[in-house]
Chains A and B, each alone.
Chain A
Amino acid sequence: MKDNRELDAFIKNKIEGEEVMPASDAWNQLNEQLDKKGKTKKAPWLRIAAVLALLITGTVSVLLILPENDMSPVAGVRLMPVQKLEKATLPAVPGISMSTSETLAQVALPPVLHQKAHHKSENKSLAENNTVHQVAENSPEEEMSDVSGTAAEAQALQVASNTTETASEQPAANEVLLASAEEHKASRETIRIIYKPTKNKSEVEAEHDGKSLEKAREDVRDFIDDAKSKGENTLQGLRALSSDVLALNVGRLKDKVIGNNKNN
């Protein structure tokens, strides 16, 4: 045992710290291997980047190729594609800022409803089409009194749901649209943009002390002009906008949308 330890210690002490000079080209070998390693380390990132680029390109291509009609409907309201929005945008009404009319225009009729309205308008008389317009004109002001900012879309949803609840109670207001609404009530895919026809034209006029719609619009326009001339916030003017004017715009919007669909 002692002999073994002596032997081990002797050899260890003798060779410990021993150096053997490598051949001169050993560094070149190592250098080459380090170069190769550096290249292979970079390669995975390039590959990952290439795969990501392909994936993104593929996804974008698929989305662009997909037909517009394949856009899945969102419960309640379907937003129109940009191209349609442009067509559906109403001309600016005096007294209403562009943002207001654009916001309104963004509330588009669903394809089913477009078809229904289109179909009906082809088969039925012009009088029926006028009814659509008229009902829109007679829409109440409560739901649309605050149209500022981004709340407009949410409001439109609210209006749509209110309409669903109340449409069956007062079917006389708009036969065409209500008929469509009832037909599709069971199916949640159907979207209805029908303004609650709670009051008829005479009632609305009575509410405004017998003023005509045109008169109401003039009042609002004067109010906004007055506010502008005084340097007041025009938003106040916007907020004071008469529901009749809004209702009128909604009616025009529907006509415009239906007209656009017809043209398409």
Chain B
Amino acid sequence: MTLRIEKSVKEKGLIAACKKQDRKAQRALYEQYSPKMLAICVRYIRERSEAESVMVSGFMRIFDKLNMYEGKGSFEGWMCKIMVNESLGYLRKHKSMYLEVDIEQAERTPNYEKLDESLHAGDIMKLINALPVGYRTVFNLYAIEGYSHKEIGEMLDISENTSKSQLSRARAMLQKQLLELEEMCNQAKEGYEG
């Protein structure tokens, strides 16, 4: 509890200093949050260097709009939204969102408990990155960020039904890949035990 309050006070001070264009404070804010922000950008943009550029421009926007942050709600959440919007802006500019790929439905659902033990966050990130851009974007927005199909439709300028179909295909693709990973893990376990 005390730690959380201390963090909040420290964060407020940092924000106040950043509002005054204090370069040291800006650097401190960047160093504190850039890994998390880059993780968001990487989920949307496959190329690492592009994702970094988007993160940098996202930080520019954060410093620019800092006066608009009223202190209500999580500051990190506010920054995450900016990063997501920046990433979407990049995708709108550079990528075609509507790649339709026919995917066979998975025969069964993976065993998530077993997968949780054997897979790391990096492995899941790779699975997400392997998705076509349209699927990946809609899945990120819906499953991770928590937007509704209506909101996603407005953000990506697509219909709600398109958003739903993209999500459905993304899920099917992820499930299929997770099943393949599960089988690989099982085989590795059997080989180890055998």
Binding site for B on A (CB under 8 A): 3-4, 6-8, 10-23, 26-27, 29-31, 33-34, 37-38
Contact = CB atoms under 8 A, between A and B. Distances in A.
Q: List the 6 closest pairs (A to B, CB-CB), nearest first.
A: A19-B35, A8-B143, A20-B38, A20-B39, A10-B112, A18-B121
Contacts of A21: 35, 38
A6 B178 CA distance: 12
Contacts of B63: 34
Q: Is the interface of B mostly helix, strand, loop or mixed?
A: helix
30 contacts: A3-B109, A4-B171, A6-B112, A7-B110, A7-B171, A7-B174, A7-B178, A8-B142, A10-B112, A10-B115, A11-B128, A12-B144, A13-B116, A14-B121, A15-B121, A15-B128, A15-B144, A20-B39, A20-B42, A21-B35, A22-B35, A23-B52, A26-B52, A26-B56, A29-B56, A30-B56, A33-B57, A34-B26, A34-B63, A37-B60
B38 A34 contact: no
B162 interface: no
Contacts of B142: 8
Nearest to B63: A34
Contacts of B144: 11-12, 15-16
Interface of B: 21, 23, 26-27, 30-31, 34-36, 38-39, 42-43, 52-53, 55-57, 59-60, 63-64, 109-110, 112, 115-116, 119-122, 124-125, 128, 142-144, 171, 174-175, 178
Q: Is the interface of A mostly helix, strand, loop or mixed?
A: helix
A149 to B, nearest CB: 53
Contacts of A23: 52
B125 A18 contact: yes
Contacts of A4: 171
A26 B111 CA distance: 39
